[in-house]
Amino acid sequence: MSILHIAQRRSTILDYLRDGPLDKRDLLDRVAASRSTIDRAIEELIDHEMVREVSGGYEATLVGVLALERAREAERDADAIATTAPALTPLWKESDVAVEFLRGADVSLVAAAEGMRLLAALGSAIRTADEIRAVFPQIARPEQLETLYARASDGRETEIVVSGSLFETLSSTFPGWLRAVALGEHGSVSVGTVPEYALVVCRAGDEREAFLLTYDDGRLHAVLRNDGAAAAWADERFSTVRDAANDRREEVRELDAEARFGGVGDATPPFGETSAVATDHDEADGPADDLLASGYAVDGGKLRTPAYGTEEACTVAFWMRPADLAGGWQVLLKWDYLVVALRRGELHGNVYDAENAEQRAFTAVPLAEIEENRWQHVAYTYDESVARLYLDGELVDETEDDYPLRVDELGAALGYHYRDRDTGVHDPTYDGRLYDARLYGAALSPAAIERLVATTDPTAVAWGGD
């Protein structure tokens, strides 16, 4: 048995003897244990040179004091790990996260009640920081770009390291942002091998505060906040990543010099990384096994997912911000023969029966219920008996049908209409913006859709969204 384990088992007696000497009668008065238990404990501690006998009884040795301190530290670390475990579950086992950062950390799960609390705190910390040092594998909420841009434009020191895929997406989707931040007098953007979590260190005066963000299938999963020694670790971790990264300033200079960043509201498509397949743990929105894809792939100014298929049941969900409701037939999402579109004065979802050239599982809501230039959430579910259409989490129409659903393995096109179903050739039809598209192989419950709306809202005040 290790000395650390003995110190843990005998910590109560060791703690008293650290302030000793005390005799066995004193220990009996203080410790809720029998005389025989105390006798065995003293004997064991003496055998391992953690306690010695002196005039007046027994006292802890230096070995005992050091072992006790380590044992207490191990207990604190174990508690810290247990507290932060739900936030760390998406991370690989190789992820370089020090227990030092977890001690005393404040934790917020995005899918939980009040889950946006620390995301709001991060936005506030960035807005008031004198210096920002950040590592990003992805940016799950576009509004983060606006906040970082504002600080860099104010002359605040802003150092950012991003993944290669994130750099390419920034270059193609937000070149004005990239030029402003990377080429600014007080800003820099470099590219390197970054951890799968994001790390943001904000310094205001002599105080430093650090935030660690974890992601689950392309979506923000949790935020952890800490300061003191934890912020020092985060600062050192950033420096290590930055020192191994490459300055891509010359590539940034070659981007469109006329490009300007007016905020995420002026850009389409909204921002995100390529889609990811869900892992095998549960999530608040529904079983992860049912989530086929989420996130985004930039494709000619619109969005497209990798190829997935489903049978018997499905859910498609996304945020839309239409710019022209009178613009005729506009496909919002088309996944094989499943379509959600603005057409003939309605927002509708249905599955097309190609053999009989007819719409099945048809649901609709009048465009009078839709607003231009405002973010609204759309979800369409079908389980081969009932099709349901939701707007902003509210059920707006449902239809009974017995059509056998089969969606072949095709990429879903958002804002597009297929010209060639098999090759994926398509034409853009939608005038507006789309955000947070998700494909499920099951019909989500009304409660799950309501939760989805609450946890993915692009207008959340945490980042000052529009």
Instruction: Tell me, yes or no, whether 457 lies in a domain.
Output: yes
Same domain, residue pair 116 and 233: yes
223, 226, 231, 236: CA torsion to nearest 10: -40
Total domain count, the chain? 3
Asked, as a colleague might, if the bond just before 269 is cis with ω within 30 of 0, I would say yes
Chain center to CA of 356: 44
pLDDT at 142: 64
Same domain, residue pair 186 and 313: no
Instruction: Tell me, yes or no, whether 277 lies in a domain.
Output: no
- Taking phi over 0 as left and psi of -120 to 50 as alpha, with beta for the rest, 224 belongs to beta
Instruction: Tell me, yes or no, whether 282 lies in a domain.
Output: no
Query: What is d(CA 16, CA 229) in angstroms, rounded to the nearest whole number?
Result: 30
Same domain, residue pair 120 and 206: yes
More confident residue, 40 or 219: 40
Instruction: Tell me, yes or no, whether 149 lies in a domain.
Output: yes
* Mean per-residue pLDDT of the chain: 84
pLDDT at 201: 97
- At residue 259 the predicted structure's pLDDT band, cuts being 50, 70 and 90, is confident
More confident residue, 272 or 371: 371
- At residue 414 the predicted structure's pLDDT band, cuts being 50, 70 and 90, is confident
CA-to-CA dists, residue 161 to 144, 200, 335, 463, angstroms: 14, 10, 35, 20
Q: Which of 13-27, 98-112, 169-183, 448-462 has the lowest mean pLDDT?
A: 448-462
Please report, for the domain that includes residue 155, its CATH number: 3.30.870.10
pLDDT at 275: 31
pLDDT at 419: 62
pLDDT at 289: 55
Instruction: Tell me, yes or no, whether 411 lies in a domain.
Output: yes
Judge whether 337 and 352 are in contact, CB under 8 Å. yes
Average pLDDT over residues 197-212: 95
Judge whether 361 and 399 are in contact, CB under 8 Å. yes
Q: What is the per-residue DSSP string for 48-59?
A: TTSEEEETTEEE
Helix (H, G, I), strand (E, B) or coil at 318: strand
- pLDDT of 129 strictly over 60: yes
pLDDT at 123: 87
Same domain, residue pair 65 and 118: no
Judge whether 182 and 248 are in contact, CB under 8 Å. yes
Helix (H, G, I), strand (E, B) or coil at 266: helix
Instruction: Tell me, yes or no, whether 345 lies in a domain.
Output: yes
Instruction: Tell me, yes or no, whether 75 lies in a domain.
Output: no
Which H or E run contains 79? helix 62-88
The packing angle between helices 175-182 and 164-173, to 10°, is: 110
**Each residue's pLDDT tens digit, 418-463:** 666 555 556 678 888 777 788 899 999 999 999 888 877 776 544 3
Same domain, residue pair 299 and 439: yes
Same domain, residue pair 112 and 260: yes
pLDDT at 70: 86
Judge whether 321 and 311 are in contact, CB under 8 Å. no
- pLDDT of 120 strictly over 80: yes
Range of the domain at 63: 3-69
Q: What is the per-residue DSSP string for 210-253?
A: EEEEEEETTEEEEEEEEETHHHHHHHHHHHHHHHTSEE-HHHHH
pLDDT at 200: 97
Same domain, residue pair 123 and 162: yes
Same domain, residue pair 350 and 257: no
- pLDDT of 255 strictly over 60: yes
Render the burial of 226-244: b for 16+ CB within 10 Å, e for the rest: bbeebbebbbebbeebbee
Please report, for the domain that includes residue 38, its CATH number: 1.10.10.10
Strand partners, 96: none
Average pLDDT over residues 114-132: 87
Same domain, residue pair 362 and 252: no
Same domain, residue pair 302 and 258: no
CB atoms within 10 A of CB 167: 22
Please report, for the domain that includes residue 347, its CATH number: 2.60.120.200
Same domain, residue pair 254 and 108: yes
Strands 131-136 and 157-162 turn out to be parallel
Instruction: Tell me, yes or no, whether 74 lies in a domain.
Output: no
Q: Which of 71-85, 197-211, 302-316, 397-411 has the lowest mean pLDDT?
A: 302-316
- pLDDT of 267 strictly over 60: no
Same domain, residue pair 130 and 29: no
Percent of the chain with pLDDT over 70: 85
* DSSP code at position 365: E
pTM check: above 0.75? no
* Dihedrals phi, psi of 139, to nearest 5 degrees: -125, 110
**Each residue's pLDDT tens digit, 273-305:** 333 222 233 344 444 457 776 655 444 445 666
Of 322, 319, 317, residue with least CA distance to 342: 322
**Each residue's pLDDT tens digit, 42-82:** 999 999 998 999 988 999 999 989 989 888 888 888 889 99
More confident residue, 350 or 267: 350
